[in-house]
């Protein structure tokens, strides 16, 4: 069931921030909140989704209400839209559900016990809803919380005009355009994968040039990586990688390992960022890494992969990092700093559409021809 309370604006516990500076932010924002809103709902256990008129949710204890400005599409959203095997097993019991999670919007109401983030503030969401109290959360590893819930999967998400969010999950993003603010979430994946060890001067291969891979290309170059190789099986993605600064782009369907070995004088690359999830690329990853190098695994293969552990990992002395989510909040600080210092990820956004054109958006994503597709709920 959708847990939408029958709220209206008069019911909301709206506090103000108590300082002149914050009031001035808020005063520029329309804090009037309607009773109902448009939302993209995964309502039935089948392909597709429905744009419905639903009640605006009411922020509970510790939550804030956000008016959404931009929500970009993630591969996970496509899984849900298509209702593939993964989506069925992961979300079968949750319907109806508002999905979507890569978001930016403005705080328009405070639930009980909140107020640290002032009304009117533009925020992005850390989409890992964690318990803050487990062993992982109390030892700096919130991103792998033992009781992890995901926004837009385990709780209603952002393909809507309004959404609620735990205030502790809000990342203030004043100074960024909404679509760039929204992009911080997937960019955080790329940042985490890239900087799990130092990257400057390291030779790097980025396997898979979807949006996260493309952002990784830009990040690596910005951080002064050594030679940056990028692979993909689709020519237009390789072109985007080259445009973002990749030193050498390679067709992922060719003999990638041989080419990278040749280009590195036989040594292989110091770092592999596996961002495709393609089985062939995963095998390439292990074979192109220099002895004692490291691999960040981020792309999700659709089925188990058979590895020659002896020759791929053990005799090579490589380090393999499983990458999921982003570190709270080290990765966000790093991501924000990269954007502030001039890293430009805007070219990765290829399409902007109103929320009502969600079907076109998912078509673009399906065809693999788009970079990042952004829905604009305020233009519903």
Q: Which two tokens stand for residue 163?
A: 């959404």
List beta partners, residue 352: 374
For a second copy, how many residues bind (rule: CB under 8 A)? 65
Task: Choose the catalytic residue: 35, 36, 79, 267.
Answer: 79
Distance separating alpha carbons of residues 140 and 275, to the nearest angstrom: 24
**In whole angstroms, how far apart are CA 349 and each of 95, 102, 229?**
30, 13, 21
Burial bucket for residue 226 (CB in 10 Å: 0-12, 13-18, 19+): middle
**Active site (annotated) includes residue 79:** yes
CB of 263 to a second copy, least distance (A): 13
Per rule CB under 8 A, is residue 323 in the interface with a second copy?
yes
**Active site (annotated) includes residue 128:** no
Per rule CB under 8 A, is residue 258 in the interface with a second copy?
no
Per CB under 8 A, contacts with a second copy among 36-75 are 61
Per CB under 8 A, contacts with a second copy among 99-118 are 113, 116
CB of 35 to a second copy, least distance (A): 28
Distance separating alpha carbons of residues 71 and 79, to the nearest angstrom: 16
CB of 59 to a second copy, least distance (A): 15
Q: One symbol per residue from 326 to 365: x for binding a second copy (CB under 8 A), - otherwise; what is it? A: --xxx--xx--xx-xx-x----------------------
Q: One symbol per residue from 174 to 203: x for binding a second copy (CB under 8 A), - otherwise; what is it? A: ---------------------x--xxxx--
Q: By C-alpha distance, which of 294, 273, 279, 259 is closest to 213?
A: 273
Q: What is the separation of C-alpha 331 from the centre of its chain, rounded to a whole number of angstroms?
A: 12
Q: Which two tokens stand for residue 55?
A: 């009640």
Q: By C-alpha distance, which of 201, 161, 199, 165 is closest to 185?
A: 165
CB of 322 to a second copy, least distance (A): 4
Query: Which is closer to a second copy, CB of 330 or CB of 352?
Result: 330
CB of 43 to a second copy, least distance (A): 27
Per rule CB under 8 A, is residue 172 in the interface with a second copy?
no
Query: Which is closer to a second copy, CB of 38 or CB of 335?
Result: 335
Query: Which is closer to a second copy, CB of 94 or CB of 329?
Result: 329
3-state SS assignment for residue 348 = helix
CB of 300 to a second copy, least distance (A): 5
CB atoms within 10 A of CB 375: 31
3-state SS assignment for residue 354 = strand
Residues in contact with 225: Cβ distance below 8 Å, sequence separation at least 6, in sequence order: 199, 200, 201, 202, 203, 204, 271
Distance separating alpha carbons of residues 326 and 113, to the nearest angstrom: 26
One-letter-per-residue 3-state SS of 207-230: ECCCHHHHHHHHHHHHCCCCCEEE
With CB under 8 A as the contact rule, the residue among 205, 223, 250, 345 that binds a second copy is 223
Distance separating alpha carbons of residues 129 and 137, to the nearest angstrom: 11
The CA R_g of the chain, rounded to the nearest whole Å, is: 21
With CB under 8 A as the contact rule, the residue among 89, 93, 139, 367 that binds a second copy is 139
With CB under 8 A as the contact rule, the residue among 15, 36, 324, 378 that binds a second copy is 324
Per CB under 8 A, contacts with a second copy among 262-321 are 266-267, 282, 290-292, 297-298, 300-301, 304-310, 313-321
Per rule CB under 8 A, is residue 236 in the interface with a second copy?
no
Task: Choose the catalytic residue: 4, 35, 36, 76.
Answer: 76
Q: By C-alpha distance, which of 283, 68, 69, 102 is closest to 188?
A: 102
CB of 76 to a second copy, least distance (A): 12
By the criterion CB under 8 A, which residues form the site for a second copy?
61, 113, 116, 133, 135-136, 138-141, 143-146, 195, 198-201, 222-227, 266-267, 282, 290-292, 297-298, 300-301, 304-310, 313-325, 328-330, 333-334, 337-338, 340-341, 343
**What positions carry a catalytic annotation?**
76, 79
């Amino acid at each position: 069931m959708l847990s939408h309370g029958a709220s209206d604006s008069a019911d909301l516990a709206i506090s103000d921030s108590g300082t002149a500076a914050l009031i001035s932010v808020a005063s520029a924002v329309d804090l009037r909140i309607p009773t109902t809103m448009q939302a993209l709902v995964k309502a039935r256990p089948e392909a597709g989704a429905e744009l419905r008129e639903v009640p605006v949710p009411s922020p509970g204890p510790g939550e804030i209400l956000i008016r959404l400005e931009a929500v970009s599409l993630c591969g996970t959203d496509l899984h849900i839209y298509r209702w593939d095997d993964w989506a069925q097993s992961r979300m079968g019991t949750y319907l109806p559900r508002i999905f979507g999670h890569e978001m930016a919007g403005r705080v328009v109401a405070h639930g009980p016990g909140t107020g640290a983030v002032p009304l009117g503030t533009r925020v992005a969401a850390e989409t890992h809803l964690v318990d803050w109290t487990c062993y992982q959360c109390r030892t700096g590893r919130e991103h792998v919380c033992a009781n992890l819930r995901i926004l837009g999967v385990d709780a209603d998400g952002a393909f809507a005009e309004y959404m609620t969010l735990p205030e502790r999950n809000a990342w203030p993003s004043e100074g960024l355009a909404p679509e760039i603010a929204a992009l911080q979430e997937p960019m955080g994946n790329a940042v985490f994968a890239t900087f799990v060890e130092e990257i400057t001067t390291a030779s790097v291969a980025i396997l898979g040039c979807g949006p996260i891979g493309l952002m990784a290309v830009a990040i690596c170059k910005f951080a002064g990586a050594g030679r940056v190789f990028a692979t993909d099986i689709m020519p237009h993605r390789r072109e985007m990688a080259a445009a973002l600064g990749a030193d050498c782009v390679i067709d992922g369907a060719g003999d990638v390992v041989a080419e990278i070995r040749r280009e590195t004088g036989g040594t292989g690359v110091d770092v592999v960022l596996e961002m495709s999830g393609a089985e062939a690329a995963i095998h390439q990853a292990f074979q192109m890494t220099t002895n004692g190098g490291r691999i960040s695994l981020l792309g999700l293969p659709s089925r188990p992969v058979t590895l020659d552990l002896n020759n791929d990992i053990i005799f090579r002395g490589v380090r393999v990092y499983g990458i999921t989510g982003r570190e709270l909040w080290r990765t966000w600080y790093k991501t924000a700093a990269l954007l502030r210092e001039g890293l430009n990820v805007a070219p990765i956004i290829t399409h902007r559409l109103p929320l009502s054109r969600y079907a076109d958006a998912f078509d673009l994503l399906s065809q693999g021809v788009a970079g990042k597709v952004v829905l604009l709920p305020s233009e519903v």
